[in-house]
Amino acid sequence: MPKLIAMRMRWESDSLGRVRAPAGALYGAGTQRALAHSGSGDRQMPRRFVHAVGLLKWACAEANVALGVLPRNKGNLIARAAREVASGRLDAHFPLGILQTGSATSTNMNANEVIANRARQLAGSGKRRRPEIHPNDDVNKGQSSNDLMPTALHVSVVLALRESLIPALDRLARELAARSDDFRDIVKTGRTHLMDAVPMTLGQEFSGYAAQARKGAQRARRASECLLELAVGGTAVGTGLNAPRGFAGRVITLLRRETGCAFRRAGNPFEAQAARDDCVEAAGQIVAISAALLKIAGDIRLLGSGPRTGIGELKLPALQPGSSIMPGKVNPVLCEVLIQACHYANGLCQTVARCGGDGQLELNATLPIMAHCLHEAIDVLDSAIRAFTRGCVMGLKADASRCRELVERSLMQVTVLAPVLGYDLAAAIAREALATGKSLREVVLRRGLMSRSALDRALNPARMTRGGAARAGKSRAS
Higher pLDDT among residues 170 and 127, named by residue: 170
Q: Are 146 and 66 in contact (CB under 8 A)?
A: no
For 387, counting Cβ atoms within 10 Å of its Cβ (0-12 exposed, 13-18 middle, 19+ buried), the class is middle
User: What's the pLDDT score for residue 476?
Assistant: 44
Q: What is the rounded average pLDDT of the residues 66-74?
A: 97
CB within 8 Å of 431: residues ≥ 6 apart: none
Question: What 8-state DSSP symbol labels residue 321?
Answer: B
What confidence tens digit (pLDDT) does each residue in 37-66 have? Answer: 776 567 899 999 999 999 999 999 999 999
User: What's the pLDDT score for residue 128?
Assistant: 60
pLDDT at 447 over 50: yes
pLDDT at 473 over 50: no
Give the CA dihedral 262, 161, 389, 398, nearest 10 degrees. Answer: -70
Structure confidence at residue 247 as a pLDDT band (50, 70, 90): very high
Question: What 8-state DSSP symbol labels residue 139?
Answer: I
Q: What is the rounded average pLDDT of the residues 434-457?
A: 93
User: What's the pLDDT score for residue 135?
Assistant: 96
CB within 8 Å of 69: residues ≥ 6 apart: 141, 142, 244
Nearest partner of 415 among 255, 241, 200, 180, judged by Cα: 200
**Stretch (H or E) spanning 103:** none
Structure confidence at residue 7 as a pLDDT band (50, 70, 90): low
User: What's the pLDDT score for residue 130?
Assistant: 75
Query: How far is the C-alpha of 183 from the C-alpha of 213, rounded, in Å?
Result: 18
Q: What is the rounded average pLDDT of the residues 161-174?
A: 98
What confidence tens digit (pLDDT) does each residue in 315-334 have? Answer: 999 999 988 899 999 999 99
> In Å, what is the CA distance from 187 to each residue of 35, 202, 211, 315?
62, 6, 20, 16
Q: Are 63 and 247 in contact (CB under 8 A)?
A: yes
Q: Are 186 and 203 in contact (CB under 8 A)?
A: yes
What confidence tens digit (pLDDT) does each residue in 297-319 have? Answer: 999 999 999 999 999 999 999 99
Q: Are 431 and 347 in contact (CB under 8 A)?
A: no
Q: Is 144 helix (H, G, I), strand (E, B) or coil?
A: coil
Catalytic residue among 15, 125, 193, 324: 193
User: What's the pLDDT score for residue 475?
Assistant: 43
Question: What 8-state DSSP symbol labels residue 373?
Answer: H
Q: What is the rounded average pLDDT of the residues 420-445?
A: 94
User: What's the pLDDT score for residue 468?
Assistant: 66
Question: What 8-state DSSP symbol labels residue 338?
Answer: H
Catalytic residue among 13, 323, 453, 478: 323
Query: How far is the C-alpha of 475 from the C-alpha of 125, rounded, in Å?
Result: 100
pTM: 0.93
Q: Are strands 195-201 and 187-192 parallel, antiparallel or unpaired?
A: antiparallel
Q: What is the rounded average pLDDT of the residues 425-450?
A: 94
Structure confidence at residue 5 as a pLDDT band (50, 70, 90): very low
CA atoms lying within 13 Å on the CB side of residue 477: 14
What confidence tens digit (pLDDT) does each residue in 276-287 have? Answer: 999 999 999 999
User: What's the pLDDT score for residue 126?
Assistant: 61
Instruction: Answer yes or no: 323 catalytic.
Output: yes
Q: Are 476 and 448 in contact (CB under 8 A)?
A: yes
Q: Are 231 and 214 in contact (CB under 8 A)?
A: no
